[in-house]
Structure 1
Amino acid sequence: MNSTLRTSTEDGVLTVVFDNPPVNALGATTMRELRDLLTGLESDDSVKVVVFESANPEFFLAHVDIAVLDQREELEALAASAPEGVNVFQAVGEQIRHQPQVTIVKLAGKARGGGAELVAAADLAFAAEETAGLGQVEALMGITPGGGGTQYLRERVGRHRALELVLAGELVDARTAAAYGWINRAVPAAELDEHVRRVARNIASLAAGVIAAAKKALPPTEFGAGLVAENDAWASLVTRPAAQALLSGALAAGAQTVEGERDLEGLMRGIAHS
């Protein structure tokens, strides 16, 4: 089985490239491979920084695979290893948020749904001004975010903007995402690679103990009951006929194809109004 991740290490920086054609849908295999990779890194003192990027310049992680619930065997295995109180989707973000290394997202293209949740889970995120986009598209699919997005957004952008992003279902450009606080900074696309490389190398070259001390002084928020409430909200909707009709209709209309994902919001609104 081909891996959906490619990795390389240089000067204490591990680069993780998502490579799951055609649009990097976040399926159970990718979640498992990411879990295994990050678990192995927990005791690896040689890696100081982890950079996430995509092999596809258009799509970082499109969103969770719409057919992921059909991947029952792998989902059950992921559920068995997930921490108590979180679902398999939340476990991805929570592992990233608690990783001892500094985690950085380099966002050149689009990240929606679970992909946008992963962006928010990382310690730092930088996006290309001209080409990047972020969106919580779940409401257009008849559900709500179920991978930590509600909690991460509330912390990053505030409740009023989080409600806007969750319910309006619009794709947000990099400058707006930076202004809201969803990402650290929007930079010109031509400068994105070098900017992330410089930040990652500068952090990786810090004196021993500095990263650990900083992360201890700035620990991730423990959302606890918020994650349980988010899962309950998502689970109450995902099996309803309305959501199932929207999800199956999305696949039939071209979701998870390159053309369909370029304007997924328009595609979903077309299904809802048909």
Structure 2
Amino acid sequence: MPLDGFTTLRTDLDGGVLTITLDNPPVNALSAIMMRELRDLLTGLRSEATVKVIVVQSGIPEFFIAHVDINILEQADALAELTASAPAGLNAFQSVGELLRSQPQVTIVKLAGTARGGGAEFVAAADLSFAAVETAGLGQIEALMGITPGGGGTQYLLEKVGRNRALELVLTGDRIDATTAAAYGWINRAVPAADLDAFVHQVAHRIAALADGVVAAAKRALPPQDHAAGFLTEHEAWAGLVERPVTQHLMAGAVQGGAQTIEGERDLEGLLRSVAAQQA
């Protein structure tokens, strides 16, 4: 399949390892275009037997995926197409994570910067994730926007960290560092930033070098959990909140205050709490 021609992604094939670099400046907001391109690329790779491992990284050092584009509901045509093509029982956002989670290849996230909201959900959906101790962080920011996670985050967190920690992460909206994320089980391991590239390269290429059939057998013996019922409940919870006036005011205020700019995203939690305080 063609590995180029995308506007928000770059690819590099090295042996059996395909690296996808996310590149949607300024902060890698998960737009409808990026979602569509990820869907098309990952779907096409399902039949590529020569690709054994997929590594996803960011071309923007501070941000992996900042979060879903706050203006995505204005991208109506593209979002409608994504929704129409989503598997039964999944919304457009959930379908991205589930496609990643069900790839025949081993999927690895290399997290050097921040992943919030839909970006944090993407990290949780990958088979393996490794993050830089000094610079990486994750946060389910949605509650501070007046909503709950709607792209699989509730179910992935419940599976990975347990209910009590999932509630903490969802309801505080706080960004947590890589060391804490690893201790909670959100990611596999926190690695010194200077070693992250070499560490992920080694893991990916060792897996790609395994004898034919080993990866497929391991993924078959260790299948992802079935969250079908939970996804429906999650979507209903999110959909019941997203179009409320208070939510729209919080999101509009966030954009006006600098969300989706590099400076504004550095302390998005503080920005959102400030917006909420002004509207109280």
- Does residue 147 in structure 1 map to residue 128 in structure 2? no
Letter in 2 for 1:124: L
The answer to whether 1:127 aligns with 2:131 is yes
Counting aligned pairs with the same residue, the percent is 68
RMSD: 0.7
1:40 maps to which residue? Answer: 44
CA drift at 1:2: 6.2
State the alpha-carbon separation in 2 of the partners of residues 15 and 210 from structure 1. 21
Instruction: Identify the residue that residue 63 of structure 1 maps to in structure 2.
Output: 67
**Runs of 5+ in structure 1 lacking a partner?**
none
Counterpart selection for 2:87 from 67, 83, 90: 83
Q: Which amino acid aligns with 1:96?
A: L
Q: CA deviation at 1:79?
A: 1.1
User: Which runs of 5 or more structure 2 residues have no equivalent in the other structure?
Assistant: none
Distance in 2, matches of 1:132 and 1:13, equals 23
Task: Tell me if the contact between 2:6 and 2:37 (Cα under 8 Å) persists in the aligned partners.
Answer: no
SS in 1 for 2:131: strand
**What secondary structure sits across from 1:20 in the alignment?**
coil
Distance 1:11 1:72 in 2: 39
Q: 2:46 is aligned with what amino acid?
A: E
Check if 1:260 corresponds to 2:264: yes
Aligned residues: 274
Give the aligned partner of residue 214 of structure 1.
218
CA distance in 1, matches of 2:246, 2:273: 14
- Using the alignment, how far apart are the partners of 1:197 and 1:38 within structure 2? 20
Q: CA offsets per residue over residues 80-137 of structure 1, 9 Å max, x none?
A: 1100000000000000010000000000000000000000000000000000000000
TM-score using structure 2 length: 0.97
TM-score by length of 1: 0.99
SS in 2 for 1:273: helix
Aligned to 1:8: 12
